[in-house]
Structure 1
Amino acid sequence: MTTLLAPEAAAPLRHRTGHRSAVVAVLVGLVLLLVWLSLTVASPLTAGELLRTLVGQGDGGGEFVVFRLRLPRLLLGALVGVAFALAGALFQTVLRNPLASPDILGIGGGASLAAATAILVGGLSGAAVTLSAAGGAVVVAAAIYLLAWRSGVSGYRFVLVGVGIAFLVNAGLGYLVSRADLNDVREALVWMVGSLGTPPWRDVVVLAAVLVVLAPLVAVLAGRLRVLQLGDDTAGGLGVPVELTRLAVLGTAVALAAAGTAFAGPVAFVAFVCAPIARRMLPTAGLALVPSALVGIVLVLAADLTGQHLLGLQVPVGIVTGVIGAPYLLWLLATSNREGRGA
């Protein structure tokens, strides 16, 4: 009997696996399309010249356009999209709350406050601002965790504390901006809204190295996180250290968010929307880490392409993602209220 039923039982699993593979393939295709458009739209190079330059046979002008201006920006945008998307997926899953993302909880704001302080008060620039932003994100996340701790951390309390910290951080940013010199404020605002700019290859390499270190940790924690989704009591009964796992997941998510923010600023709503979009594309709910990362790349590259070439003026990527993410937040709140869920 078991042998006869096995193919029927396996059919839904094969369907889900095939659906997931198709979604990943479509997202990879979108990424490749956006990569090509990012390199070719409004470019002084023809398609043939671009291909020759990419394989090392271009002239000096082509190499400058591709390897100094466009390719570093493209790669940084992709890496930032991955970092924010994975951070958001981990936050929302471990806290079981769709509002749990670094930008909503004030972690991105903490990075902005630290970077703005470094620029407007310390007169710093470059790597010092990057390190300040990363440190600010970590400090704010630690403060939220400690304030939310009550013999453990619940997602509801963590989100409430995070929203309160976000308002406090925004007040600090407002004070700094109102007291600073106008020229310094312009420089700080470009960073605070989220912008890829024209990054040096050093930034791309450093962020890539950070993700290479964190990606295996995410993969290891994913298994425990799936068990944790069954409930704390069940996870504990299966031998998973609940609070230690939750702390490790939150720490990894904070590190990803801090890395992305440090190199591109708090690009709004990327961490917030990527995982929900990826889950809606799949037949069953789950972590969807790989699809979320691909959605993050698509969102950041599409927003940057729009902001740079399709609006008639150059707009930082964070403004475009904010325009995309704000309606989604309003829709989420509206549907949650209709369904009686106070998310």
Structure 2
Amino acid sequence: MSGGQLLGVASGRIALRMRPRTLTVSTILAVGVLVLGVWTLMTGDYPASPGEVVRSLVGHGPPGLEVIVNRFRLPRLLIAIAVGAALGVAGGIFQSISANPLGSPDIIGLTTGSATGALAVILVFPHAAVGVPVGALLGGLVTAALVYLLALRDGSLGSRLVLVGIGVTAILESVNGYLLSRASLADAQAAQLWIVGSLNGRGWSYAWPVWAACGVLVPVALVLGRPLAILEQGDDTAAALGVPVRRTRLSLFGCGVALTTTATVAAGPVAFVALAAPQIARRLVRRATPSLGSAALTGSLIMVAADFAGQHLFGRTQLPVGLATGAIGGVYLLWLLSREWRTR
């Protein structure tokens, strides 16, 4: 068997092909997330050694540090890891089913729709029974349904998903701009901070839900994503190989939407992670087909690195994580476009 090793369980019913390079890259990425995460827990106004951090995590550290690590630093780190993984997997799904490297949630309008829902709660219905996370969730789901229905033709999405998404994004950004222009200064500042994407002030009340959702959705995506390589060869080829094309594509689309809205509810519409992570993962593992597991780890590493940079590289001023990922993603997007232009 070339290109990988076949691993099975005792029942013989489950088999998983593991490519050595994919396994090696995934291990390196996981170690990178772990090392940078520990560094994040050590760094701040109250610096600590690795040993002190470990003791604080198990409840035997210095009292002041234990509170800082367990109440503030740890949940923020866990949210960054989960949000990055969710966006990395969602981006890999959308790029694959649209057959376009630009097919990510922030390009096709899902994160912008979530921002619209959140802004509606913050600025239009501040006394509504639902909170900002619920508004973001509803906005993302409604936008996803609209984009899917407009892009669907003969059971296929293809490049129309990106084109329709760009149009919907433009409309929603105009709506968001209008809402901000009509808001008071205080409300506009609060709303602007949210739509940039930030982990500031995020605690365990955000960490537990996002990890619970990702604990279900990421494994489901990895299972559903097994036919992605076949789907990228075309609907006729996939159908001939026994893949239920429409059902598989709809299931993957729904899973990608759920992952995107989960991440957006936790951290706001963080830019470019879903765009860059899957493409970086593909190049690292040197595969033309999707590698959702590697994309998840790449997304986590980008989020943790961006949040660390936003917290510590600009003195006492903490920048929202969305600004850091936007800068990283902008550079990556320019490189991607220039590369596509040179290959034509």
Q: TM over 0.5: same fold?
A: yes
Cα distance change of structure 1 residues 125 and 195 upon mapping to structure 2, 3 Å threshold: farther
Aligned 1:267-286 pairs, distance under 5 A: 267-286=270-289
1:30 to 21, 29, 32: 32
Deviation at 1:43, TM superposition (A): 4.4
- Which stretch of the first structure deviates more once superposed, 126-135 or 103-112? 126-135
In the other structure, the counterpart of 1:97 is 100
Deviation at 1:271, TM superposition (A): 0.2
Contact 2:72 2:203 in 1 (8 A): no
In the other structure, the counterpart of 1:170 is 173
Q: Structure 2 stretches of 5 or more lacking a match?
A: 6-17
* CA root-mean-square deviation: 1.8
In the other structure, the counterpart of 1:5 is none
CA distance in 1, matches of 2:84, 2:288: 21
Deviations 1:158-197 (A, max 9, x none): 1111000000000001000100000011111111000011
1:238 to 238, 241, 249: 241
Residues 1:252 and 2:255 are matched in the alignment: yes
Whose helix proportion is higher, 1 or 2? Answer: 1
Contact 1:103 1:271 in 2 (8 A): yes
Deviation at 1:19, TM superposition (A): 2.1
In the other structure, the counterpart of 2:90 is 87
Cα distance change of structure 1 residues 36 and 316 upon mapping to structure 2, 3 Å threshold: same
Cα distance change of structure 1 residues 108 and 160 upon mapping to structure 2, 3 Å threshold: same
> Which letter maps to 2:175?
G
CA distance in 1, matches of 2:129, 2:53: 30
Contact 1:145 1:153 in 2 (8 A): no
Contact 2:89 2:274 in 1 (8 A): yes
Residues 1:310 and 2:313 are matched in the alignment: yes
- Secondary structure of the residue aligned to 2:159 is helix
Residues 1:73 and 2:76 are matched in the alignment: yes
Contact 1:119 1:125 in 2 (8 A): no
Residues 1:46 and 2:59 are matched in the alignment: no
CA distance in 1, matches of 2:156, 2:185: 42
- Secondary structure of the residue aligned to 2:19 is helix
Aligned pair count? 330
Deviation at 1:206, TM superposition (A): 0.8
- Which stretch of the first structure deviates more once superposed, 257-266 or 210-219? 210-219
Deviation at 1:125, TM superposition (A): 9.0
In the other structure, the counterpart of 1:136 is 139
Contact 2:195 2:269 in 1 (8 A): yes
Deviations 1:284-313 (A, max 9, x none): 322211111111111001000000111222
CA distance in 2, matches of 1:235, 1:50: 50
Deviation at 1:127, TM superposition (A): 6.9
> Which letter maps to 1:60?
P
1:220 to 203, 223, 232: 223
Identity %: 43
CA distance in 1, matches of 2:287, 2:175: 42
CA distance in 1, matches of 2:107, 2:262: 17
Deviation at 1:81, TM superposition (A): 0.4
CA distance in 2, matches of 1:118, 1:124: 8
Deviation at 1:260, TM superposition (A): 0.2
Deviation at 1:316, TM superposition (A): 0.2
Deviation at 1:153, TM superposition (A): 2.7
CA distance in 2, matches of 1:316, 1:242: 40
Deviations 1:97-151 (A, max 9, x none): 0010010111100000110110011115997100110111111111011111222
Q: Structure 1 stretches of 5 or more lacking a match?
A: 1-8
The runs of at least 4 aligned residues of structure 1 exceeding 6 Å deviation read: none
Contact 2:88 2:278 in 1 (8 A): yes
Contact 1:192 1:265 in 2 (8 A): yes
CA distance in 2, matches of 1:56, 1:27: 28
Residues 1:201 and 2:204 are matched in the alignment: yes
1:153 to 144, 156, 163: 156
- Secondary structure of the residue aligned to 1:258 is helix
CA distance in 1, matches of 2:176, 2:263: 20
> Which letter maps to 1:256?
L
CA distance in 1, matches of 2:22, 2:70: 34
